[in-house]
Amino acid sequence: MNSKNRPTDPRRRRFLTRSLLAASAVLLTGCDRLTRSDTMGRLFDASSALTQKAQRLLASRESLAREYSPEDIAPTFRANGTTDPQDATYRRLAADGFRDWRLTVDGLVERPQRFSLDELRSMPSRTQITRHDCVEGWSCIGQWTGVVLSDLLAQVGVRDEARFVVFHCADRYRGGDAYYESLDMIEAYHPQTLMAYGLNGGNLPVANGAPIRLRAERQLGYKMAKYVMRIELVESFAHLGRGRGGYWEDRGYEWWAGI
């Protein structure tokens, strides 16, 4: 190297070298601790809230997720998370073909109700071929048939204070807490948001969430609760789990699953 390229002050070079070393040391050893800190948690939440606002600005209430053609349907729809709930009540209901199963819809509604599978099937239905995007990164295309959630909500009459729709499920992922998820009213009233009882023309298999599961096509897979037993309209998440609005949210995942 040309001697004229050397810095005039060797202290500056030492400073630069040390800064670089210190920065990489902080990065390698401090990042895991930093990630666990409350400050980072708040920053992650703020960034997620910003994403939600930005995406809501760009995607109107009504903008639809892409629907695909029958040739695009995957030969088998990948089942993820819990695929065979061990809950005793659930097993008894499943053994009987869900004849005694009832979907409870309550909370902040005018007329709490319980629906049998036949009652849901007799309501107007929607069939859509959509892509499921798992938070892990894979995608799978399937055909879903079910009741449009907004029709169901119209039947029970949602009260003005209701801000979120919570889905309580029969499964405990890895034997832990009961699975639950939530949507706000914009996603809940979206025309493609279904309580699906059919997959690819047949009944919804147990592995995919029988007897009904949620389809919220503008969200990632973890939002789309399987084995739904009860729908509760709430004003806040304070009384649920760890208060973050869902099983995965309680474990650090973003409540906004549009990304």
Partner 1 sequence: MRVFDSFTGTNRGQAATVIQRHGAFTRLWHWVNAACLLVLLMSGLQIFNAHPALYWGKDSSFANPALSIHAATGNDGEWRGITQVGPYRFDTTGVLGVSGPDEARERRAFPAWATLPGPRWLSAGRGWHFLAAWVFVPMLLAYLAYLVLSGQLRRRLLPRRQEWRTLGQSFYDHLRLRFPRGEEARHYNLLQKLAYLLVLFVVMPLVVLTGLTMSPTMDAAWPWLLDVFGGRQSARTIHFLCALALVIFFLIHIVLVLVSGVANNLRSMITGRYRLPASEEVLSDEQQK
Report if residue 32 touches partner 1, rule: CB under 8 A: yes
The 3-state DSSP class for residue 120 equals: helix
Pattern 50-89, binding to partner 1, x per CB under 8 A? xx---x--xxx--xxxx-x---x-x---x-----------
**Residues between 143 and 202 that touch partner 1 (CB under 8 A):** none
Least spacing, CB of residue 204 vs partner 1, in Å: 19
Report if residue 22 touches partner 1, rule: CB under 8 A: no
Nearer to partner 1, 138 or 239 (CB): 138
Applying CB under 8 A, among 139, 154, 159, 243 the residue interacting with partner 1 is 139
Q: How far is CA 153 from CA 163, 174, 228, in A?
A: 13, 31, 15
**Residues between 215 and 244 that touch partner 1 (CB under 8 A):** 217-220
Least spacing, CB of residue 117 vs partner 1, in Å: 28
Binding part of the chain for partner 1, among 46-54, 85-93, 120-128, 163-171 by CB under 8 A, reads: 46-54
Q: How far apart are alpha carbons 140 and 134 in whole angstroms? A: 8
Q: Which of 191, 116, 197 is nearest to 150 (CA)?
A: 191
Least spacing, CB of residue 258 vs partner 1, in Å: 3
Half-sphere exposure of 140 (CA within 13 A, CB side): 17
Applying CB under 8 A, among 79, 140, 178, 207 the residue interacting with partner 1 is 140
Q: How far apart are alpha carbons 89 and 66 in whole angstroms? A: 37
* Two structure tokens written together for 95: 């053994």
Please report where in the chains the tokens 């995608």 appear, as a residue: 139
Report if residue 37 touches partner 1, rule: CB under 8 A: no
Nearer to partner 1, 58 or 95 (CB): 58
The 3-state DSSP class for residue 19 equals: helix
Q: How far apart are alpha carbons 98 and 171 in whole angstroms? A: 15
